[in-house]
C-alpha cells in the first residue's frame, strides 16, 4: 500500500505519510510502555517503595480515571490541530518520568506516573483522528492495525527490556530512559508530522471546540461504542492487574521471568493487530469485532482449566490477549467514522470510557483475586465481555456511514 501525505500544506513539504506512520509507531511504543510497565512489575514497585500492593494499584486506578480528561483534549485537537496535542503528550511523558527519577518516593512517583499517563491520554485521540482524516475508510483497518502494533511492542519489547534494566540497575533507571526518549521525541515530532491549523480538521469556525461533546451521548452508535469500550476494558484489566501476582504465587516466577513472560502477551497482541490489518477490512469491521468478542469470552472461560501449569497458563493468556487486541484495534477503525466531523472527540470519548473501565477493572480484579482467585477473575471477565458484545450490537443496529470518504486520497 502506498500512502502519501496531502499536498495542501502551506509549510515545508512534510514527510510522506508512510514515514509519519512509522514515526508515530515509535512514539506510541514509548507512551504505551510508560503506561503499561507498572502492571507486571507492581510487586517490584511495592517492594522498592516499601508500600502495600494496594498502594500501587491505587496509582494505576488513578491513571485510568484520569482518562476522563481526554474528553477535553479531543475537541481541542479537532479545533487546534492534531500535531499540537501529540507533541503535548510526549512532553508530559518526559516531564512525568523526570519527576519520578528526581524524587523517587511514593507520592512523587504517584504524581509523575499520573502526568506521564496524561501524556498518553492526550496523544492517543489525536493520532487516531489524524489517521482517520488521512486514510480512506476502506483501508483504515489496515493502517490502524499497523499503528497499534506499538501496543503489542510495549509488552513484546519494552517491558522485557525494562525487566532487565530494573533487575540490574534498579527501578529509577527506567524513569531516566523514558525521560531521555520522551524528550527526543518531543523535539523531533514537529519535523515529521505536518501542522494542522485552527479549525482545519472540522471547519467549526468560531463555534466552541467543546460543542461536539454532547454528540457522545446523543448519537446511538457513539453511545453503544462507549459502553462497549467500558465493559471490555473492565474485563481486560481485571486479568492484567493480577496475572503477575498469579504467576508469582502459582509458578514462583522471578522478575526477569515475569518480564519475558509478558512477551507472550505482546506476541498475542501483535498477532491480533496483524490480523486486524490483514482481515478486518475484508470481513467488515462490525462483523470482525463481534467475532473477536466471542473468541475472547470463550478464552476467559477456559483460562482456569488451562492454568494448571506455566506453559498452559501462557497459552491461555495468549488466546485472551489475541482475541481482545483484535477486537479493540478493529473497534478503533470503526470508531473513527462514527462522528466523522469530530473524530478526535469520538476517540477521546472512547478512550475516556475505556479508561474508566480500566480503573474499575484494576480495583475489581484485585478484589476478585482475593475472594476467588483466577477463576473468579476469568469468569467475571467473560461475562463482562458478553455485555460489551450486547452494547455494540445495540449501538450499531441499523448504522450506515453517512458520507463518502474522499480524505487521504491523492
Model confidence pLDDT, tens digit, residues 318-359? 899 899 989 998 998 888 888 877 788 888 889 888 888 988
Nearest in space to 335 (alpha carbons), one of 293, 395, 387, 269: 395
- The distance of Cα 266 from the centroid of its chain, to the nearest Å, equals 13
pLDDT category of residue 130 using cuts at 50, 70 and 90: confident
Alpha carbon distance 128, 106 (integer Å) = 33
Average pLDDT of the chain? 82
Determine contact, residues 86/124, Cβ cutoff 8 Å.
Answer: no
Nearest in space to 146 (alpha carbons), one of 3, 305, 342, 303: 3
- The distance of Cα 338 from the centroid of its chain, to the nearest Å, equals 19
pLDDT digits (tens, 9 = 90+) for 257-285: 666 666 777 788 889 889 988 888 888 88
DSSP letters along 137-168, please? Answer: GGGHHHHHHHHTHHHHHIIIIIHHHHHHHHHH
What pLDDT is attached to residue 199?
54
Alpha carbon distance 52, 73 (integer Å) = 33
pLDDT higher than threshold 90 for residue 181:
yes
What pLDDT is attached to residue 15?
58
Hey, what's the cell of 10? Answer: 502551506
pLDDT higher than threshold 60 for residue 11:
no
What does DSSP assign to residue 201?
T
pLDDT higher than threshold 50 for residue 408:
no
Q: What percent of the chain has pLDDT over 70?
A: 87
Determine contact, residues 328/228, Cβ cutoff 8 Å.
Answer: no
What pLDDT is attached to residue 180?
94
- The distance of Cα 43 from the centroid of its chain, to the nearest Å, equals 22
- How much is the pTM? 0.75
Determine contact, residues 350/226, Cβ cutoff 8 Å.
Answer: yes
Q: What is the dihedral of CA 31, 34, 38, 39, to 10 degrees?
A: 20
pLDDT higher than threshold 60 for residue 209:
no
What does DSSP assign to residue 213?
T
Hey, what's the cell of 148? Answer: 497499534
Angle between helices 70-80 and 82-102 (to 10 degrees): 140
| Domains of the chain listed by start with CATH number | 17-188+206-396 (1.20.1250.20)
Nearest in space to 36 (alpha carbons), one of 175, 182, 240, 200: 240
pLDDT digits (tens, 9 = 90+) for 17-74: 788 888 888 999 999 999 888 877 887 888 888 888 888 888 887 887 777 787 788 7
- The distance of Cα 395 from the centroid of its chain, to the nearest Å, equals 22
Higher pLDDT, 368 or 168: 368
Determine contact, residues 277/146, Cβ cutoff 8 Å.
Answer: yes
pLDDT digits (tens, 9 = 90+) for 73-124: 878 887 778 888 899 999 999 999 999 989 878 999 999 999 999 999 889 8
Nearest in space to 407 (alpha carbons), one of 125, 96, 134: 134
Class of residue 197 by CB neighbours under 10 A (exposed 0-12, middle 13-18, buried 19+) = exposed
CB count within 10 Å of CB 350 equals 29
Query: Which 3-state string (H, E, C) describes 286-333?
Result: HHHHHHHHHHHHHHHHHHHHHCCCHHHHHHHHHHHHHHHHHHHHHHHH
Question: What is the separation, in whole angstroms, between the first and last Cα of the chain?
Answer: 13
Determine contact, residues 207/334, Cβ cutoff 8 Å.
Answer: no
> Torsions phi, psi of 173, nearest 5?
-60, -35
CB count within 10 Å of CB 68 equals 17
> Torsions phi, psi of 406, nearest 5?
-115, 5
Nearest in space to 176 (alpha carbons), one of 259, 96, 255, 120: 96
∠ CA 191-116-95, nearest 5°, is 65
pLDDT category of residue 6 using cuts at 50, 70 and 90: very low
Amino acid at each position: 500500500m502506498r500512502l502519501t501525505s496531502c499536498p495542501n500544506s502551506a509549510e515545508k513539504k512534510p514527510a510522506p505519510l508512510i514515514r509519519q506512520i512509522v514515526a508515530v509507531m515509535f512514539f506510541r511504543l514509548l507512551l504505551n510502555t510508560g503506561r503499561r510497565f507498572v502492571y507486571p512489575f507492581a510487586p517490584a514497585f511495592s517492594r522498592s517503595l516499601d508500600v502495600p500492593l494496594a498502594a500501587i494499584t491505587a496509582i494505576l486506578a488513578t491513571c485510568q480515571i484520569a482518562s476522563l480528561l481526554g474528553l477535553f483534549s479531543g475537541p481541542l485537537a479537532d479545533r487546534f490541530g492534531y500535531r499540537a496535542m501529540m507533541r503535548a503528550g510526549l512532553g508530559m511523558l518526559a516531564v512525568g518520568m523526570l519527576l519520578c527519577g528526581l524524587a523517587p518516593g511514593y507520592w512523587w512517583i504517584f504524581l509523575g506516573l499520573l502526568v506521564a499517563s496524561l501524556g498518553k491520554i492526550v496523544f492517543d485521540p489525536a493520532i487516531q483522528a489524524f489517521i482517520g482524516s488521512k486514510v480512506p475508510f476502506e483501508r483504515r483497518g489496515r493502517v490502524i492495525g499497523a499503528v497499534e502494533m506499538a501496543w503489542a511492542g510495549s509488552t513484546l519489547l519494552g517491558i522485557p527490556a525494562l525487566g532487565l534494566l530494573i533487575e540490574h540497575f534498579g527501578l529509577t533507571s527506567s524513569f531516566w530512559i523514558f525521560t531521555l526518549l520522551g524528550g527526543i521525541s518531543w523535539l523531533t515530532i514537529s519535523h515529521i508530522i505536518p501542522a494542522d491549523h485552527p479549525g482545519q480538521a472540522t471547519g467549526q469556525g468560531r463555534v466552541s471546540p467543546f460543542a461536539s461533546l454532547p454528540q457522545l451521548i446523543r448519537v446511538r452508535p457513539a453511545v453503544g461504542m462507549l459502553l462497549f469500550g467500558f465493559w471490555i476494558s473492565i474485563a481486560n484489566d481485571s486479568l492484567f492487574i493480577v496475572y503477575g501476582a498469579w504467576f508469582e504465587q502459582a509458578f514462583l516466577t522471578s522478575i526477569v521471568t515475569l518480564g519475558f513472560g509478558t512477551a507472550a502477551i505482546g506476541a498475542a497482541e501483535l498477532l491480533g493487530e496483524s490480523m486486524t490489518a490483514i482481515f478486518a477490512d475484508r470481513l467488515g469491521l462490525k462483523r470482525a469485532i463481534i467475532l473477536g468478542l466471542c473468541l475472547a469470552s470463550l478464552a476467559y472461560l477456559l483460562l482456569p482449566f488451562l492454568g494448571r501449569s506455566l506453559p498452559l497458563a501462557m497459552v491461555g493468556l495468549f488466546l485472551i490477549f489475541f482475541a481482545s487486541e483484535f477486537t479493540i484495534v478493529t473497534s478503533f477503525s470503526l470508531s473513527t467514522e462514527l462522528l466523522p466531523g469530530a473524530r478526535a472527540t469520538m476517540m477521546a470519548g472512547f478512550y475516556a470510557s475505556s479508561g474508566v473501565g480500566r480503573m474499575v477493572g484494576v480495583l475489581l480484579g484485585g478484589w476478585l483475586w482475593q475472594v476467588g482467585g483466577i477463576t473468579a477473575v476469568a469468569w467475571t471477565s467473560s461475562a463482562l465481555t458478553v455485555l460489551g458484545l450486547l452494547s455494540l450490537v445495540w449501538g450499531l443496529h441499523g448504522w450506515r456511514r453517512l458520507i463518502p470518504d474522499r480524505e487521504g486520497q491523492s
